[in-house]
Homo-oligomer: A and B are copies of this chain.
Amino acid sequence: MPDESKPYHHGDLANALVTAAIAIIEERGVEHVSVREVARRAGVSPGAPFRHFPSKSALLAAVAEQAMERLSSAVRAAQAPHDDDPLDQLERIGLGYLEWAQDNPAHFEIVSQRSLVGLEGRSRELNDEIRTRMLSLLESAKSTGQLSKDADIDTLVLSCRALVYGLARMLVDGHFPEWQPNGNPAQWMKRSLALFIGELREHHREPSQPG
């Protein structure tokens, strides 16, 4: 039976700190995260976190890495199954991204602010993976004739990304009440994404083989 008084060593303080930081972000926003408060929640002295992270930034970077890992999983899961219409897959990726952002605003906020945490190593990898995922779906849509052969794939990827990122950011930054007063944001985001993908589908479609 474990000692009921806290042991001197926490056991897994690093993770506990990251979790505490996320809780604070969820409750009061990134700008209210302080190392001391994080330590307080983990039941540890104000200096303890610095044994695990050299700086506050490093702690936030760890939060970002965890967040990016989860976002990546959400996107991967949303894409499945991988054997249907590529543009449907693309739309599901967008929806998955948006739903994740809505369900995890704290995670999303920290992931999106590069100036706050930088983008290196694993995070960079996962980010690139998402882009590649979208790129290959569009390529594949082109090869199946859903997009015309001269469709500008690079610009399309950027546009999709910007739309989804913009919607997610608007949500987290609190722009929705003003930009779409009626209904819930999720509904509007879904419509907006569907409209965009729909346009791709119908406008860029290769005309059926003449002759």
Contact = CB atoms under 8 A, between A and B. Distances in A.
A166 B97 CA distance: 14
Interface in A149-166: 152, 154-159, 161-166
Given A167-B162, A178-B131, A155 B195 contact: yes
A127 B167 CA distance: 17
A185 to B, nearest CB: 10
Contact of A156 (B128, B156, B167, B195): B195
A128 B178 CA distance: 7
B196 A159 contact: yes
A97 to B, nearest CB: 12
A191 B157 CA distance: 12
A188 interface: yes
Contacts of A175: 112, 114, 165
A161 B166 contact: yes
Given A161-B179, A163-B163, A166-B165, A192 B115 contact: no
Contacts of A143: none
A169 interface: yes
Contact of A169 (B158, B165, B191, B202): B165
Contacts of A164: 166
A40 interface: no
Nearest to A154: B180
A170 B155 CA distance: 14
Interface in A15-69: 29, 31
A52 to B, nearest CB: 22
A152, A162, A163, A173 — most chain B CB neighbours (10 Å): A162
Given A158-B167, A159-B192, 4 more contacts: A112-B173, A158-B179, A164-B166, A203-B203
